[in-house]
């Protein structure tokens, strides 16, 4: 399976910790405490923030890859290629 890069961020560990807390909460007896809910909410906010950062990093990498590929194509000197202006005059 091809997983997207995590850019060295602990996203998987955070999701596993959230899952452990939810399972422990589900298996507990009695009323749910505010402290447990705060921990899960804080983890969820952290996970969302990491996912946003990862999406931004992925976008920046894609833009950099696209910039590099377009630069390599357009880096040839103008006299080495026929441009639209020259082709219209010659035809």
Query: In this predicted model, what pLDDT tens digit does every residue of 52-77 receive, in sequence order?
Result: 988 898 888 888 877 766 655 555 55
Distance CA 56, CA 67 (A): 16
Q: What percent of the chain is modeled with pLDDT above 90?
A: 37
Distance of CA 10 to the CA centre of its chain: 13
Q: Please determine, for residue 9, whether its predicted confidence score (pLDDT) is greater than 80.
A: no
Full-model pTM: 0.61
């Amino acid at each position: 399976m091809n997983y997207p890069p995590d850019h060295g961020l602990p996203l998987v560990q955070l999701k596993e910790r959230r899952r452990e807390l939810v399972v422990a909460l589900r298996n507990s007896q009695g009323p749910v405490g505010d402290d447990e809910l705060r921990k899960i909410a804080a983890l969820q906010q952290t996970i969302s923030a990491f996912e946003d950062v990862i999406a931004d990093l992925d976008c920046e990498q894609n833009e950099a890859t696209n910039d590099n590929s377009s630069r390599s194509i357009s880096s040839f000197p103008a006299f080495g290629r026929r441009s639209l202006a020259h082709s219209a005059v010659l035809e």
